[in-house]
Amino acid sequence: MIDGDRVFTETQLFSLRWILALTVLLSVGCSTPDKAPDREDVLEDIRNTTLIPNLGSYDESIQKRALDRILLSLSKAPIITRNLLAAELDDPFIGARTKRVICMILAREGDERALPRLISMLAEGNVVDDNLIEVALLEYGIAALSPVVTVLAEGNVTARRSAASILLTMKLPEAFDALQDRFTIERDSEVRFLCVCGFAEDARQSSLDLLASALDDPDEVVRQSAWGGLKRRARVPESLPFDPVADPFQRQKQIENIRSWLVGDLLITPEPTIGEPL
């Protein structure tokens, strides 16, 4: 994630494809068969011994069939189906991946019973299916904000990376505040990079000072991100340079000039264009 793009393992790429497929299915629903099963039929399906475990299958065809039946059950008996799915989250014989998928379904349904389990999964800092967890938490919007902030403050490094990514995507003032609070004490460069990306997206004036501070970050990629965000946000003139790879002494002089310009103490005279009288 240091270069702005997440480096996916094969498992994560599969999870991401599944998320996209699930999004389509939940958006458009399932086609209605010629003879629609009645309510008891679909509830019997969801209670059987294979349907729920198959939600976590890595075989796309098996998983899709299970998902289709769950979605059909939700359309026929939404309350009972959600209750059955929520109950499975406490079943010790149901695998972790299957529970992630169930959480995703419940999140899409607006059922907050999956929220504590998702936060627990996030705090574990397991990279397997982490995209599935993040997308599900984003479904809850502001309801997930406070617990995700707690993970950013208290979680292990993998958990903090995921939490920072979620807060960055939320684009809420409170989410930006949490990224600001974390930045100055964070040791992991990837988390700091995500915090700086948040400063660049935060329209408040205070974020400009944070971007300027990040120009002195020990990590080159974080400095580059901060400079790119600051140039765009503050419209820094081309005649006011900053080199993220320069030696520390040179960078400090450049940062001092940039800070002076930000507060209006340094006036920059535009360079004349070719052919223009001096």
pLDDT of residue 46: 58
Phi/psi at 161 (nearest 5 deg)? Answer: -60, -45
Take residue 52 and report the two structure tokens written for it: 């729920």
What is the pTM for the complete model shown? Answer: 0.77
CA 111 and chain centroid, separation? 20
pLDDT of residue 93: 86
Q: How far is CA 82 from CA 7, 74, 120, 260, 263, in A?
A: 34, 7, 20, 58, 55
Q: How far apart are CA 161 and CA 193, in angstroms?
A: 10
pLDDT tens string for the chain (278 positions)? Answer: 444 444 444 444 444 444 444 443 444 344 444 444 555 555 565 555 578 889 999 999 999 999 999 999 999 999 999 999 999 999 888 888 999 999 999 999 999 999 999 999 999 987 766 688 999 999 999 999 999 999 999 999 999 999 999 999 999 999 999 999 999 999 999 999 999 999 999 999 889 999 999 999 999 999 999 999 999 999 999 889 999 999 999 999 999 999 999 988 555 544 444 554 44
pLDDT of residue 132: 86
Give the residue from 2, 3, 4, 6 showing the smallest Cα distance to 131. Answer: 6
Phi-psi label, residue 29: left if phi above 0, alpha if psi -120 to 50, beta otherwise: left
Give the residue from 172, 110, 158, 156 showing the smallest Cα distance to 130. Answer: 158
- Gap between the terminal Cα atoms of the chain: 47
Q: How far is CA 171 from CA 45, 66, 202, 203, 240, in A?
A: 40, 34, 8, 10, 29
Start-end of H helices in the chain = 10-28, 39-47, 51-54, 60-76, 78-88, 96-108, 115-124, 130-140, 145-154, 157-170, 173-183, 189-201, 206-214, 220-234, 248-262
